[in-house]
């Protein structure tokens, strides 16, 4: 493997979010993307003529992601001249990497990256009752005899539970942590607390995982403006540097053919992360551990090196702060302070990037981690979309 030549060279200078909702929103998918995009561009104190690159996170033909593609956003926002546009690999990190590459190869000066979620009719009863969502394709009609897509984490969790001393309660702590944190995030779709009793009694969806182990189907969008670090000082906010960013996969990666839990996309990502940065877990001030499924977060905790294989359950117990009902690694590092995929909403990591930017700028309000300088984002699952991003506070 080679080294990350993009280190610290690109900064996030604008963020915008619509917040997330499970309600009857009456809005189109594009309307969310446009709202978040305009907010991010304004946050960077830029305007139409300044944005000459656009990257969506709709790549790889994901069935749960719907238009607008980048070229539609160029039209909708009236960007007069765009010299780079593409659809990055979901989850959010793939799009960020695409934007970083475009900036550093000189293809454009300011890139808009956006991500949106929009519930398909197969994702919730409420979405199914909305006739304006009928056209959205999904994987609801696949043959059921399959470990594909979302079912994969139930399968691999069963393998993990059979091998290691892990219990459903360990997953439950992660679900509760996200709910506790979401309570102070006005953008989150669910802000009510969750108890262990509620978790353990919840409806099973695909054993061994229950409804609280799976991210929330939501409508909403986040957007970001990225520019070269050397130009970031011209923007109004403290720049947040992309210290390093990567993605990784192994072959075979078909869900039920993945060789084992010993080596998958998370491993490839973590190998790059610790090769490319001299920072360590001891430097991390705030952690974003992807909880699209609780079981994915268990894996990240082990792969990042906070604990060994099979030890995530006991690690979570050791670092659980009972009177706060949340996880605080070493008593100081909050995990998913904005509520994660489980409670803010299934943002595929976009919400984590936005919250990390606010934390590092120092404008995260009641959720602010004092003097936060380093945010570690471990995003995505085992098969197609493992990614990590380390963000750091740039010079004010």
Partner 1 sequence: MTQETTASNSSSEPAIWELYPDATIDQDNRAQYEGMLRRELCLNRCSSCTAWHQPPRSICPRCWSVDVRPTAVSGKGVVMMAAVLRQGKAALGVEYPYHLVTVELDEQPALRYTSAIAEDCIDQVQIGTRVTLDWVERGGAPHPVFRPDADKAPGSASDVG
Which residues of the chain form contacts with partner 1 (CB under 8 A)?
122, 140-147, 151, 154-156, 158-159, 162-163, 203-208, 251-252, 254, 256-257, 259-260
Spatial neighbors of 312 by CB under 8 A, at least 6 apart, are 166, 170, 297, 298, 299, 301, 302
Minimal distance, residue 293 CB to partner 1, in Å: 12
Output DSSP code: residue 293. Answer: B
Handedness of CA 278, 381, 128, 203 (dihedral sign): negative
Shortest gap between Cβ of 262 and partner 1 (angstroms)? 9
Cα-Cα-Cα-Cα torsion 349, 355, 357, 358, nearest 10 degrees, comes to 170
Q: Report the first-to-last Cα separation within the chain, whole angstroms.
A: 33
Residue 3 or 200 having the CB closest to partner 1:
200
The 3-state DSSP class for residue 316 equals helix
Place of tokens 């189907």: 217
Residue closer to partner 1 by CB (options 260, 366) is 260
Contact 288, 344 (CB under 8 A): no
CB of 135 to partner 1, least distance (A): 17
Least distance to partner 1, CB of residue 238, Å: 45
Interior angle at CA 8, CA 6 and CA 12, nearest 5: 100
Nearer residue to partner 1 within complex by CB, 163 or 167:
163
Tell me how far, at minimum, the Cβ of 64 lies from partner 1, in Å.
14
As a dihedral over the C-alpha atoms of residue 367, residue 371, residue 374, residue 379, rounded to 10 degrees, the angle is 0
Task: Kindly tell me which of 151 and 298 has the beta carbon lying closer to partner 1.
Answer: 151
Toward partner 1, which CB reaches closer, 208 or 292?
208
Residue 150 tokens read as 């979302």
Rounded CA-CA distance 213/250 in Å is 25
Query: Is the Cβ of residue 134 or residue 203 nearer to partner 1 in the bound state?
Result: 203
102 vs 214, beta carbon nearer partner 1:
214
């Amino acid at each position: 493997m080679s080294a990350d030549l993009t280190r610290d060279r690109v900064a996030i200078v604008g963020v915008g979010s619509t917040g997330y909702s499970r309600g009857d929103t009456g809005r189109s998918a594009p309307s969310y993307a446009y709202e978040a995009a305009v907010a991010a561009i304004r946050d960077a104190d830029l305007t139409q003529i300044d944005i000459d690159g656009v990257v969506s996170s709709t790549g790889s033909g994901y069935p749960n992601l719907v238009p607008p593609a980048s070229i539609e956003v160029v039209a909708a926002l009236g960007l007069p001249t765009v010299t780079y546009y593409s659809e990055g690999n979901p989850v959010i990190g793939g799009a960020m990497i695409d934007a970083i590459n475009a900036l550093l190869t000189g293809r454009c000066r300011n890139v808009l990256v956006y991500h949106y979620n929009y519930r398909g009719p197969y994702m919730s009863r409420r979405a199914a009752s909305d006739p304006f969502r009928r056209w959205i394709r999904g994987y609801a009609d696949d043959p059921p005899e399959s470990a594909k897509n979302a079912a994969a984490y139930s399968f691999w969790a069963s393998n993990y539970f059979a091998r290691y001393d892990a219990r459903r309660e360990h997953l439950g702590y992660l679900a509760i942590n996200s709910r506790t944190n979401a309570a102070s995030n006005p953008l989150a779709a669910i802000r009510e607390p969750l108890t262990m009793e509620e978790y353990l009694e919840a409806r099973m969806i695909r054993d061994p995982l229950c409804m609280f182990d799976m991210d929330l189907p939501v409508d909403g969008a986040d957007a970001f403006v990225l520019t070269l670090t050397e130009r970031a000082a011209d923007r109004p906010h403290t720049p947040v540097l992309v210290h390093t960013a990567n993605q990784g996969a192994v072959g075979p990666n078909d869900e039920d053919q993945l060789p084992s839990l010993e080596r998958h996309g998370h491993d490839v990502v973590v190998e790059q992360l610790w090769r490319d940065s001299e920072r360590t877990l001891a430097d991390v001030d705030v952690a974003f551990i992807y909880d699209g499924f609780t079981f994915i977060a268990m894996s990240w905790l082990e792969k990042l090196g906070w604990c060994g294989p099979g030890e995530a359950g006991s690690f979570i117990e050791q670092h659980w702060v009972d009177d706060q009902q949340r996880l605080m690694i070493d008593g100081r590092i909050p995990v998913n302070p904005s509520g994660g995929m489980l409670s803010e909403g299934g943002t595929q990591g976009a919400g984590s990037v936005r919250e990390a930017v606010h934390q590092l700028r120092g404008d995260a309000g009641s959720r602010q981690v004092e003097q936060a300088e380093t945010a570690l984002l471990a995003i995505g699952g085992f098969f197609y979309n493992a990614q990590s991003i380390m963000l750091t506070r740039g010079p004010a």
